[in-house]
Amino acid sequence: MELGIYSFGDRHPDPITGEQVSVADALAQTIERIRLADELGLSFYGLGEHHLDQYAISNPGTVLAAAASVTENITLSSAVTVLSTEDPVRVYQQFTTLDQLSRGRAELLAGRGSFTESFPLFGARLEDYDDLFDEKLALLLHLDRQDPITWSGKFREPLDGVRVLPRPYRDRLRISIGTGGNPESSIRTGLLGLPVVYAVIGGQPERFKPLVDLYRKAGESGGHAPGDLHVTMGGIGLIAKNSQDAKEAFFPYWMETMRYGSKARGWPLPTRAHYDEYAKDANSLFVGSPQEVAERMISVGKLVGADRYAMQMDWSGVPHPVVMNAIELLGTEVLPQVRAELG
């Protein structure tokens, strides 16, 4: 099983000091983390987009392009690109450019997004939420498979025999689909034969097994070989040498985002007791020692059938040295255990 990391460039006001990392510093730290992950042999680093003051990254492709110049092997991906509010032609060009810069290491993770701030910002209507995504995904896939392309739809002007350049470094750009757990999304992604990425924000990863089974069954029905299907599980956590140190370090930052989510989206506000239960034995929050986190990843990999696990460890803006230490432990202590057990 591959291991990797994802981030949105979190820069919430620090719940302990009250200070907020500047955008420039948050971006510089992100590049430093990606470079370390590459040096340690981690296979994936994804950057997601937000358009809010609490997050430094609104354009993942630009930051990933900077990372391409200081890395050699790691896959550089969005996590996610909110396709519903993007122009698929422009997005495709951005990521094929990244693919050329990185010599074939780009991945475009397309999704609807869990926040909706990009809709009014880019003039998209929430009433068209599903139709926008469906049409733009169809166009994105046609762009990758047809050169030149002739295409027409509801939400943009038609294309008539147009070449969209540059082309990918290899025959195809790696395009994957992100979902929060909608069964229809799993089925559709499987039928298309695309990689799927499940965002496990709350609850145990094991609850996604029925969705993974749906995805793989749909892929088989669509005529795709099992080896062409790929499942990534994404979750949050933090690793420290000592399990309790990890849990104590992560709690205030986890709680900061819970407060923000409660205010912005009406989430019920959890307590420390809830957190302790979620983090116990790295249950649903992968917070703990390298041994704890490795054991949970191995368990999830075996039960769910995941091909890749990606962690967000800078939740709310966990301090940079703490995140760097966690990445080091993920690469030097967790990765060897997972590889020994799962290959």
Ranges of each domain in the chain: 2-342
DSSP 194-206: --EEEE--SS-GG
Length of the chain as a residue count: 343
Place domain 2-342 in its CATH homologous superfamily. Luciferase-like domain (3.20.20.30)
The tokens for 57 are 């990254």
Euclidean distance between CA atoms 158 and 342, whole angstroms: 47
Per-residue confidence (pLDDT) for residue 283, from 0 to 100: 84
Euclidean distance between CA atoms 188 and 312, whole angstroms: 26
Euclidean distance between CA atoms 101 and 305, whole angstroms: 32
Per-residue confidence (pLDDT) for residue 265, from 0 to 100: 80
Euclidean distance between CA atoms 143 and 162, whole angstroms: 10
Contact 68, 105 (CB under 8 A): yes
Q: What is the mean pLDDT of each run of 10 residues along the chain (343 residues)?
A: 98 98 99 99 98 97 99 98 98 99 99 90 95 98 98 97 99 97 95 96 89 98 96 96 98 95 86 95 92 96 96 98 99 99 94
pTM: 0.97
Q: Using CA atoms in the order 293, 60, 51, 123, what is the torsion angle rounded to 10 degrees?
A: -130
Q: Return the closest-CA partner of residue 173 out of 216, 131, 142.
A: 142
